[in-house]
Structure 1
Amino acid sequence: MPPYYPRTSLFRRIVITVRQPWIWFPLLLGCSVVLHLQIVRIVHQRPDPGCRQEPVRSALDNYQDLHNLPIVNEEFFRSVPIVRSENAIVTSMYNDAFAVPIVTLGHSLNKVDSKARRIVFYLPGSVSERALCIATASGFEPHAVSRIDPPADGGVHQHFIDQFTKLSIWKFDELGVKAVVYLDADTLVRRNFDELFALPFNFAAVPDVYIGDPGFSIGFNAGVLFVRPSTKAFRELVSQINTARYPHWEAEQAFLNVFFGAEAVRLPYIYNGNMAIKRRNPELWEGLQSEMRLIHYSLVKPFWRGVYNETGLEDMHENVLRRAEDWDGTWRDEILEWGETWKEAEDTYRYAFTRCGWKHGH
C-alpha cells in the first residue's frame, strides 16, 4: 500500500474494495440504474414544447364584463357624411335557395334605417326570375356578374364552389361605389352599422371563431367584409387564385386570408356575431348583445333544410321551429329572432311576392 494513504481501518477497507472489482461493480450498476430512472421520470414530467398539454386559452375565453365604454365613437361618426350612391351594402345570390334569406336581410336593414345603397349580385344562369324578384322585394337592386371559377385543380367543397365570385365586389368602383360592406345572405341586421363606411382602410373583417381549438383566431371570417373597391385590386386577386398557397377546400375565405393577411384591419365581433361565439363562450356572447350589429347564422341556417336545400315559403315557419332545436337548442333565441323577422317581411312584402308568382298558402 502506498505511503500517502492514511493507515486508518476505514481507508484500508476502501482501498481493498477498489482493488476488488467483483465488489464495487454491482454498486456502480445499481447507481446507474437509479440515475437512469430518475432522468426518465424528469423528462416525462417536463412539458414537450412541441405538444400542448392543455388548449391555449385566449383573453376572450377569460371574458369579463369590466366596463360599459362604447365601441363606436358616435360623435365622430356624426361628423362624417354618408353619400348613398357611393356606399353600398352588398350580398350575393348563387341560386334560388338564397331568395328568402336575402329578402329577410333587406327587411332587417330597413328596420335600422341604413342610408347606404343596397346591391345583390347574382349569377344569371343559376337564379330564376321568380327567386330574384322575391330577393329584391325589400330593397336590394340586382346586379348580374360573371362567375369566377375556383382553383383549376379542384379541392373546393361543393357548397363553396361559387364563392370566388364574391371577389366581384372589388369591381364595384365601376358602379360609382367607393365603399362596400359585404354581408353573406345568412346574416341578420340588429343595429345600424353605417359607421363602417367612414373607415379609411381598404380592407377590414372580423376575426374568425371556432367551437374547439383554435377557438378565437387572428384569421378573419369572410361572411362580413369592408372593402374599398378597386378594379386594379380585382385583377390582382383573380390572377392569383391558382398560384397562391392556401387550403383550397376553404375557398375564398382562405384565399383572402393569405392575400390580405398582414394588412387586414380586424373589426370588433359586434360586426359579425358568429354563432360559434355563443358556443365557445356564452358569457362573451351575452356581453356583446347591447352593441351587436349583425348575427351570422354560420352553424344553423333557419331558412334551409340542409346545405342549399331550399325551403318553400309556405313551409318556412315550420322549418324555423325545427332548426331552433338543433344543437340542443343552443341558438333557439337567435333562430326564432330570424323567424320573427321573416314573418315581418312576409307580411310587409306579401303583394310583391304575389307579383313574383308566389301565392300565399300554396
Structure 2
Amino acid sequence: MAGRLEDVYCTLVTSDSYVAGAAVLAHSLRDNGTKKKLAVLITVDSLRSATITELKSLYDYVIPVERITSPNLANLYLMGRGDLRDAFTKINLWRQTQFRKIVYLDADTVALRAPDELFDLEASFAGAPDVGWPDAFNTGVMVISPHMGDYWALKTLAATGDSFDGADQGLLNQYYEHKNWHRLSFVYNCTPSANYQYEPAYRYHKSRIAVVHFIGKNKPWNSPRSQSATP
C-alpha cells in the first residue's frame, strides 16, 4: 500500500531579487520549530546558478516549473506592478500532486510562528482576506490540495488573460468565486500596510499573528534598518 503523501510549505522564486526573502522565510519557519519539509518552485531561466545553489541549501525540494506570463499586462502597469508579469507561474502549485497539502507562502512573507495547523484543514483551498478588498483573498498565503483538474482549468483561464488585476490574485479569485473555499483569519496573512490603520484590532490580535506579509515593491531586507516596515 502506498504511503501517505507529504505535506510541505512552499514558495515561488522567479527572480534573483527574491532570494533574500526566500531565505528569511525558510529560516523563520525552521526557527519557529516546524518539522514540515520546505519546497520552492523556480523558473530556471530567470535565476543565476548561484541563486539556485543557495535555494538548494535552504529548501528540501527545489522544483523547476514552467514560466507562465500574463497576456494582459495593462492592469499590472495600472497598479505600478509590472514586476508581477510572471505571477501566473504560481498556477504550477496545483500541479505538485506529489504532495497531499501545500501551505503556500510568498517569498516576501515571514513566519512569526509556524502555522502547522493549516495542514489539518479539510478544505481543498483556503486563503486570507486582502487588506485592499477584504471580499477577495490575498494569494500571498494559501492552503492548497494539488489537483491536475484545477491546474488545467487555471492554465486555460490564464491563457485568456481573464484576471481583474492582470496577475494571479485576480485570476484565482475569479476561479474560486463560485467554488467552496475556506476563509482564513487575517492573522495568517497580516500586511503592515499604510492603508491598514485599525490600531485597536492590531493590539488585540497581535499575539495571534502567524505570518507577516510585506506587500508592495519595498521589502525590509532590501532597505536600511531605519526604513524597514514593522508589523
Task: Indicate the TM-score class for this superposition, using the shorter chain for normalisation.
Answer: 0.7 to 0.9
CA offsets 1:98-156 (integer angstroms, 9 cap, x no match): 111111111111111212221111111101111122234333421101111212x4423
**Cross-structure match for 2:88:** 164
Matches within 5 A, 1:1-362: 86-151=6-71, 153-155=72-74, 156-157=76-77, 158-173=82-97, 176-210=98-132, 217-243=134-160, 245-249=162-166, 251-262=167-178, 263-276=180-193, 279-299=196-216, 300-304=218-222, 319-324=223-228, 331=229, 333-334=230-231
Larger radius of gyration: 1
Percent of aligned positions that are identical: 25
CA contact 1:96–1:132 (8 Å) conserved in 2: no
Distance in 2 between residues matched to 1:195 and 1:126, nearest whole Å: 34
Shift of 1:224: 0.4
Distance in 1 between residues matched to 2:10 and 2:194, nearest whole Å: 24
CA contact 1:103–1:136 (8 Å) conserved in 2: no
The TM-score, its normalising length taken from structure 1, stands at 0.57
Shift of 1:232: 1.5
Specify the SS of the correspondent of 2:25: helix
CA root-mean-square deviation? 2.0
Structure 1 gaps, min length 5: 1-82, 305-318, 325-330, 335-362
Runs of 4+ in 1 over 4 A off after TM superposition: none
Distance in 1 between residues matched to 2:57 and 2:203, nearest whole Å: 33
The structure where helix makes up a greater share of residues is: 1
Distance in 1 between residues matched to 2:15 and 2:83, nearest whole Å: 11
Specify the SS of the correspondent of 1:303: helix
Q: Give the 3 Å change call, closer, same or farther, for CA 116–278 of structure 1 in structure 2.
A: farther
Specify the SS of the correspondent of 2:221: coil
Distance in 1 between residues matched to 2:159 and 2:227, nearest whole Å: 37
Question: What is the number of equivalent residue pairs in this alignment?
Answer: 221
Higher RCO (CA 8 Å, separation ≥ 6 residues): 2
CA contact 1:278–1:285 (8 Å) conserved in 2: no
Q: Give the 3 Å change call, closer, same or farther, for CA 103–110 of structure 1 in structure 2.
A: same
Distance in 2 between residues matched to 1:106 and 1:274, nearest whole Å: 19
Shift of 1:270: 1.2
CA contact 1:203–1:228 (8 Å) conserved in 2: yes
CA offsets 1:37-70 (integer angstroms, 9 cap, x no match): xxxxxxxxxxxxxxxxxxxxxxxxxxxxxxxxxx
The structure where strand makes up a greater share of residues is: 2
CA offsets 1:279-315 (integer angstroms, 9 cap, x no match): 32122122221111101111441123xxxxxxxxxxx
Specify the SS of the correspondent of 1:147: coil
The TM-score, its normalising length taken from structure 2, stands at 0.88
